[in-house]
Amino acid sequence: STVLSSSRGALIVLEGCDHSGKTTQCKKLVSALNEASIKAEFYRFPGKYIYINDLDSYHRGTRTTAIGEMISGYLGRQQDIEDHAVHLLFSANRWELKPKMLRSLEDGTNLIVDRYAYSGVAFTAAKEGFDIDWCKQPDIGLPQPDAVFYLHLNPEVAAKRATFGGERYEQTDFQSRVSKNFDNLQDSHWTIVDADKTVEELHEDLLERVKDVINNIGNKPIGKLWT
Ligand code: NYM
Ligand code: MG
């Protein structure tokens, strides 16, 4: 038959250490794409949807699912969860959103995602007694991002950017271990982007790269992560 199908959506992930600017940039990308009549949606992991840049409201911010709520309580230090168990919850939060993500991609909507399984591995593997291989297992087979843009920022610069230290994991020594783990996770889908510039400069840079990915996606099958 000669049915012409239009292209699927691209799965685009922004990664990086805390305060590297991912959330701001993801939102700006989605707005810019929508303004250009390109279908795009914002996702974030863990799936919290209120993000107010004020520590109090931020810690009370709701996450979209029951699993997201548990993670939120953990990050805000209201609740302790055993390290392996919370690792599996972060992963479960991605799996529970997988069907919705695939439907959007197949429908031609591009997804701009704030963190993904790479954060999952990089943060847990920064804890005592965890290795990268163990940490990767639960996320194997998730939808493979078409592109990962890693916002690179020196941890000392990141620490100076905003209120740092409120949420669990926000300490400079922990962040340096996270940053080393990210280095080990880089693969052919990654592009390292210098995040030490103004919001607008970084936005222009990312927008051009993202449009390039979207324009070249066609209908290539969605891969499976780490397989
Ligand atoms: N985080 C995030 C994990 O430890 N594992 C994960 O799988 C994901 C997606 O949660 N410090 C950590 C990284 C961050 C925190 O914060 C989420 P933010 O700044 O709201 O993205
Ligand atoms: Mg944060």
- At residue 188, the pLDDT reads 95
C-alpha 153/C-alpha 194 separation (Å) is 7
Site of tokens 């939102």: 27
Tokens linked to 55:
């520590």
Does residue 59 carry a pLDDT above 80?
no
pLDDT tens for each residue of 31-54:
999 999 999 998 889 875 444 343
pTM: predicted TM-score of the whole model, two decimal places: 0.91
pLDDT tens for each residue of 105-114:
999 999 999 9
Percentage of the chain exceeding pLDDT 70: 89
Q: What is the CATH number of domain 11-215?
A: 3.40.50.300
Tokens linked to 56:
């109090």
Does residue 203 carry a pLDDT above 90?
yes
Averaged pLDDT for residues 138-152: 98
Each domain of the chain, given as residue ranges in start order, spans 11-215
Averaged pLDDT for residues 96-100: 91
- Give one DSSP letter per residue of 55-109, joined into a string: HHHHHH--BSSHHHHHHHHHHTTSS---HHHHHHHHHHHHHHHHHHHHHHHHTT-
- At residue 1, the pLDDT reads 44
- At residue 47, the pLDDT reads 74
- Using CA positions, which residue lies closest to atom 9 of ligand 1? 45
Q: Confirm or reject: Cβ of 164 under 6 Å from ligand 1.
A: no
Asked casually if ipTM beats, i.e. exceeds, 0.95, the reply is: yes
- At residue 64, the pLDDT reads 62
Work out the number of other CB atoms within 10 angstroms of the CB of residue 164.
Answer: 16
Q: Which atom of ligand 1 is nearest to the CA of 123?
A: 4
Work out the number of other CB atoms within 10 angstroms of the CB of residue 148.
Answer: 23
Averaged pLDDT for residues 146-157: 91
Q: Which of 17-31, 102-116, 150-164, 192-206 has the lowest mean pLDDT?
A: 150-164
Tokens linked to 86:
């919370």
In the reported structure, the alpha carbon of residue 104 is separated from the centroid of ligand 1 by a whole-number distance in angstroms of: 23
The answer to whether 87 and 135 are in contact (CB under 8 A) is: yes
Averaged pLDDT for residues 76-81: 91
In the reported structure, the alpha carbon of residue 62 is separated from the centroid of ligand 1 by a whole-number distance in angstroms of: 14
Q: Confirm or reject: Cβ of 125 under 6 Å from ligand 1.
A: no
In the reported structure, the alpha carbon of residue 19 is separated from the centroid of ligand 2 by a whole-number distance in angstroms of: 6
- Give one DSSP letter per residue of 126-155, joined into a string: TSTT--HHHHHGGGTTSBPPSEEEEEE--H
Does residue 2 carry a pLDDT above 60?
no
Return phi, psi of residue 14, to 5°.
-105, 130
* Helix/strand/coil percent split, the chain, to 5: 50, 15, 40
> What's the chain's average pLDDT?
88
Q: Confirm or reject: Cβ of 43 under 6 Å from ligand 1.
A: no
Confidence of residue 18 (pLDDT cuts 50, 70, 90): confident
Percentage of the chain exceeding pLDDT 90: 68
Does residue 29 carry a pLDDT above 80?
yes
